[in-house]
Amino acid sequence: MSYKKFFVFFVFILAAALMWFLSRYNSQYREQVVIKTSFVSVPNQVNLDVQDRSIDVMTTIESSGFRLLWMNYQSLESQLEFDEVVSLNDGEYIFDPQRALSSYDEQLGEPFKVVSIDTDPITLSYSRFKSKTIMLEKDFDVTFTGSYQQLGDGFFNQEQVEVTGNDERLDSLQRLKVTMLDVVVKDTMTIKTIELDSLYPDFKFEPSAVTYSIRAAQMTEGNLRIPVTVINKPSNVLVRLIPENVNLVFTARLDQFETVTENDFKVTIDYRKLDNADTSAIPDIEILTDAVLEARTQPAAIQVLSIE
């Protein structure tokens, strides 16, 4: 019986303690809390010293006792936009935590409220790097699968980038080689993104990434019989070509192959380029349609007989 009385007594004590705890910590309280603060969007030429890349800012936060109790076991961190909270004064970068109050409040969110900032402005230690604009240089191979062939040259979305880093190393850098695994083209447009920061971690870039684009099309071969024309021939000269018509082998886009005709080509021999000793010449081919990538003649050379 005494055991039962003891158990009832213990339950009442526990209930009372629980009611006190709920009453005590359900109210609003204020407490000083440290927020570990770092910066984003730091200018490339500014290299913050290690100790100033993460700063402890003392704040006063208001919330329920339960929330604040939980917060004591958490590490609060915040990232602030550099330009919004740091000012440049006579060559010194000054971080004013007061300007970060609304950002802290927004990042912590409900039900926390940042009541005040209890840390004075801080002068940031830094070193400044040189910047210069450098041309990009492709340093990887491109291969094409199936009947795909390249249309025009591949290209970066911009030819040059601004590079910031160690002055001595930057002075020796004349072109920026962009490397990656070989690109395999399987479609009409292939775009690869290259993170320059990953390629050269010792430098900072603006922009930090570039793209390389390759246009391609599925191709097929065809052939046409085309007459050869002699141009720039004096009126008193008779020229005979053997053969007078050539077989023109062309590579065209598969989806436009049926549109290609004899009128899309001009095969000519320029008389002014001939030497008196020439008895044969390689004709010039002018392609008049975007549907054709390249063309060649069979035979490659034509016999030229001139009679004055």
Q: What average pLDDT is seen over the chain?
A: 85
Listed in sequence order, the residues at least 6 apart from 175 whose beta carbon sits closer than 8 Å to its beta carbon are 134, 135, 136, 137
What's the Cα-to-Cα distance from 198 to each of 73, 157, 190, 231, rounded to whole Å? 35, 18, 21, 56
Tokens of 95: 């971080």
- For residue 7, the model assigns a pLDDT of 59
The closest alpha carbon to 262, from 280, 285, 240, belongs to 285
Secondary structure letter of residue 137 according to DSSP: E
pTM score > 0.85 for this model? no
Average pLDDT of the residues in 68-73: 65
Contact predicate 231/269, CB 8 Å: yes
- For residue 113, the model assigns a pLDDT of 83
In three-state secondary structure terms, 208 is: coil
Residue with tokens 């039900």: 111
For residue 10, name the pLDDT band (cuts at 50, 70, 90): low
13-46 burial, b if ≥16 CB within 10 A, otherwise e? eeeeeeeeeeeeeeeeeebebebebebeebbbbb
For residue 209, name the pLDDT band (cuts at 50, 70, 90): very high
Q: Is the pLDDT of residue 292 over 70?
A: yes
44-59 pLDDT, tens digit per residue, is: 788 889 888 999 999 8
For residue 43, name the pLDDT band (cuts at 50, 70, 90): confident
Give me the amino acid identity at 226: I
129-179 pLDDT, tens digit per residue, is: 888 899 999 999 999 998 898 888 999 999 999 998 877 778 888 899 999
